[in-house]
Amino acid sequence: MVVSSTSAAKSKGKNFQNDIKDDILELYPDLTENDVYSTSMGAQGIDIRLSEEARKVFPFAVECKRSETINVHGAMDQCMINAKKEGLTPIVISKKNRKPALVTLEWEVFKGMLERLYVAELKESIRKSEGLSSPINLDLANEAISAEYIEALQEG
C-alpha cells in the first residue's frame, strides 16, 4: 500500500507510536495509561511520555519512525537531543511496511545492557544453586543505565 497523503502518513505514524506505547504497557503490567502515553503528532520532544514510575523500569527516550526511508543517524541525533532534556537514554524505533520494527541505540548503551543482563543471570543462577527463590530487582540496573548515559552526555 502506498501512502497517498500526509494525513495517511501521520495516521500510520500515530498508530505505530500507540503500538509501541501498548507494548511497553504490556511488558510492565504495573504501569497504567497515565504512566506511558503517546504524544500528539508534530509535538516537540520524545514520542512516548513516561511518568517517574515508568522511567524507573523503562529509562528510554523513544523516537518512533514509521517510514519507508529512514535516516537512522538523523533520527538518533534528534532523539539524543530530546533524551538529554528528559534525562533518559535515547532509542529510535523504526518500521517499514511488511517489515518488523527495529530498535537503534548506541553500542555503549547496548553493551552496558548486555553486561547487566549477564550479571543478573549469573546472580540468578547462583541464587538458584544455593536454593534461594527471591528474584533480582532490575529497577536499579535500569536506573544505572540511564544515569551512566546522562553522565557520558554531560562529559561529552
Q: Is the pLDDT of residue 6 over 60?
A: yes
**For the chain, what is the domain count?**
2
> Residue 27 domain-assigned?
yes
Give me the mean pLDDT over the 120-143 stretch.
64
Percent of the chain whose predicted confidence (pLDDT) is above 70 = 78
Based on the domain organization, do 113 and 51 belong to the same domain? no
Based on the domain organization, do 111 and 98 belong to the same domain? no
36 or 130, which is more confident?
36
Based on the domain organization, do 115 and 72 belong to the same domain? no
Q: Is the pLDDT of residue 136 over 70?
A: no
Q: Is the pLDDT of residue 31 over 90?
A: yes
- Which stretch of DSSP H or E encloses residue 8? helix 6-27
> Residue 138 domain-assigned?
yes
d(CA 72, CA 80): 12
Based on the domain organization, do 60 and 23 belong to the same domain? yes
pLDDT recorded at residue 34: 95
d(CA 83, CA 153): 10
Based on the domain organization, do 126 and 95 belong to the same domain? no
pLDDT recorded at residue 3: 47
Mean pLDDT of the chain: 84
Based on the domain organization, do 22 and 43 belong to the same domain? yes
Of 104, 123, 139, the last residue of a domain is 104
Based on the domain organization, do 89 and 119 belong to the same domain? no
Structural domain that includes position 50:
6-104
What pTM, to 2 d.p., does this model score? 0.75
Which DSSP state fits 34?
Answer: T
Q: pLDDT grade, residue 147 (50/70/90)?
A: low
